[in-house]
């Protein structure tokens, strides 16, 4: 936790003072080992970054005076369309997506996605939110990625993808592409990443008909979590 993330539902004493008594208070006490008078890095969820001065601290709570002055870091150049991953992987993919400051993540059904994944408790709003916040806390960001769920591939591609791209190129990761994503990563784009086993030919063709263009990620088959980080790492 490199940033204490505050939100408007916290226990605000007044406009500048907040009282924390949850895992953040525990982190301040046990990991940071902060004391009265110490300064912390803070951010307001959806808002600015800044610092906080510890006014009081005990075993129950931490009282902090907050000063928020800096804008959050820039959004990532890429938005992602991702075949819904195995629940076990989802959590750390969400964390990575937040670490990189992605604006929007679209989770979609594809032929090789097991439909039972949509029933996973890890896909509940609260769990998604928790995983994303872990990423924000890691990378000192305050803007939570927007996560959209699309349970039907075809209507998503035909009806939604053009509006999502808004004139940006749409790249679809595919091992056999002639061009590498690294060669075209200079401009904002939407990048599509398939499931384990990849997109089926019908899905690839449909996406290409709607304007998506194939790019490779170096020619090796990568796990989905590795592929997500590889895509997002291209804009360094």
Query: How many beta carbons lie within 10 A of that of residue 139, not counting itself?
Result: 16
β-strand partners of 171: 191, 213
Q: Does 56 bind its own copies (CB under 8 A)?
A: no
Q: Among 63, 52, 56, which Cα is nearest to 20's?
A: 63
Between 146 and 223, name the residue whose CB sits nearer to its own copies.
223
Interface pick for its own copies out of 187, 205, 209, 223 (rule CB under 8 A): 223
Element (H, E) at 87: helix 87-99
Question: What is the nearest approach in angstroms of its own copies to the Cβ of residue 89?
Answer: 9
Question: What is the nearest approach in angstroms of its own copies to the Cβ of residue 196?
Answer: 9
Q: Which stretch binds its own copies (CB under 8 A): 92-100, 103-111, 147-155, 203-211?
A: 92-100
Contacts of 99 (CB under 8 A, 6+ apart): 135, 136, 138, 139, 141
Between 87 and 180, name the residue whose CB sits nearer to its own copies.
180
Q: Which stretch binds its own copies (CB under 8 A): 6-14, 102-110, 161-169, 213-221?
A: 213-221
Q: Does 82 bind its own copies (CB under 8 A)?
A: no
DSSP count for the chain of H helices, then E strands: 7, 12
DSSP 119: G
Residues 153-212 that bind its own copies (CB under 8 A): 180-182
């Amino acid at each position: 936790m490199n940033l204490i993330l505050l939100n408007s539902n916290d226990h605000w004493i007044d406009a500048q003072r907040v009282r924390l008594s949850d895992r953040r208070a525990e982190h301040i006490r046990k990991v940071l080992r902060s004391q009265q008078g110490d300064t912390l890095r803070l951010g307001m969820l959806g808002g600015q970054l800044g610092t906080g001065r510890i006014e009081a601290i005990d075993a129950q709570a931490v009282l902090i005076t907050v000063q928020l002055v800096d804008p959050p870091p820039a959004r990532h150049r890429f938005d992602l369309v991702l075949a819904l991953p195995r629940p076990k992987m989802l959590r750390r993919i969400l964390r990575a997506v937040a670490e990189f400051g992605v604006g929007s993540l679209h989770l979609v059904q594809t032929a090789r996605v097991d439909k039972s994944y949509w029933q996973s408790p890890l896909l509940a709003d609260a769990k998604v939110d928790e995983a994303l916040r872990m990423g924000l806390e890691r990378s000192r960001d305050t803007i939570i990625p927007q996560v959209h769920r699309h349970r039907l591939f075809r209507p998503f591609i035909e009806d939604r993808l053009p509006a999502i791209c808004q004139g940006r190129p749409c790249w679809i990761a595919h091992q056999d592409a002639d061009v590498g994503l690294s060669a075209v990563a200079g401009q904002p784009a939407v990048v599509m990443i398939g499931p384990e086993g990849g997109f089926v030919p019908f899905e690839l063709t449909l996406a290409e008909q709607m304007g998506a263009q194939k790019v490779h990620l170096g020619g090796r088959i990568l796990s989905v979590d590795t592929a997500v980080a590889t895509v997002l790492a291209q804009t360094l």
